[in-house]
Amino acid sequence: EVQLVESGGGLVQPGGSLRLSCAASGFTFSSYWMSWVRQAPGKGLEWVANIKQDGSEKYYVDSVKGRFTISRDNAKNSLYLQMNSLRAEDTAVYYCAREGRVAVAGTGIYWYFDLWGRGTLVTVSS
Amino acid sequence: DIQMTQSPSSLSASVGDRVTITCRASQSISSYLNWYQQKPGKAPKLLIYAASSLQSGVPSRFSGSGSGTDFTLTISSLQPEDFATYYCQQSYSTPSFGPGTKVDIK
């Protein structure tokens, strides 16, 4: 079955750290860009970070730069998010998402989040 | 950064209604626009990519249109399982989502 399963969420105090994991199965993990997307309680979706197939390129939303690190282990079909210096505003459900891409001749490469995990809740509170 | 807006923020509709949701980008994004459906407690689901391409397995009552800065998602005949929140997302640059449109039962 094609799926993504997140783990590692929980309650952490402000200033603390947490490492999220995402286990991929049913597809060739090493062929895809991967992202983390979060959703604060009752709020909308926010892209957090993504990583290229070989880990050579990584990008982050401004609000987490210098605090979060995305990484992957293709041998283990796993994606990670190391979160340091956590703040109350980082409280959210964190989703792992696969980036599908399609090339259209003469137009460009379109990409989208075509596979999502169920998410893991991170609560930052004292 | 590209800002995305959606209208309306919520709407009430009946089964069988035609529903249209609008998404606007703060600058031109060509056709780099995707639509997602999210039900309470569930992960988002891709409906439309590249503004008008239907994702595999998504019912044909869903359609998307637009380019540049203005886009629409249309549900031609609303079904009970379509009551959810819908988000647009641009992939022209650093990805960003619209605030969502909640579709509930009238």
Q: Is the pLDDT of residue B14 over 90?
A: yes
| Distance to chain B for A46, nearest Cα, Å | 7
Q: What is the pLDDT of residues A9-23, one digit of tens each?
A: 999 999 999 999 999
Q: What is the pLDDT of residues A31-74, one digit of tens each?
A: 999 999 999 999 999 999 999 999 999 999 999 999 999 999 99
Distance CA A30, CA A42 (A): 33
Query: Considering only CA atoms, which of A64, A74, A77, A60 is closest in space to residue A25?
Result: A77
Q: Which of the four pLDDT bands, split at 50, 70 and 90, describes residue B106?
A: confident
Q: If you average pLDDT over every residue of chain A, what do you get?
A: 97
Nearest by CB to B95, which of A47, A104, A110? A47
B79 contacts B61 by C-beta, under 8 angstroms? yes
A96 contacts A34 by C-beta, under 8 angstroms? yes
Q: What is the pLDDT of residues B17-54, one digit of tens each?
A: 999 999 999 999 999 999 999 999 999 999 999 999 99
B87 contacts A44 by C-beta, under 8 angstroms? yes
Nearest by CB to A113, which of B46, B50, B53? B46
Give the pLDDT confidence score for residue A106 in this predicted structure. Answer: 81
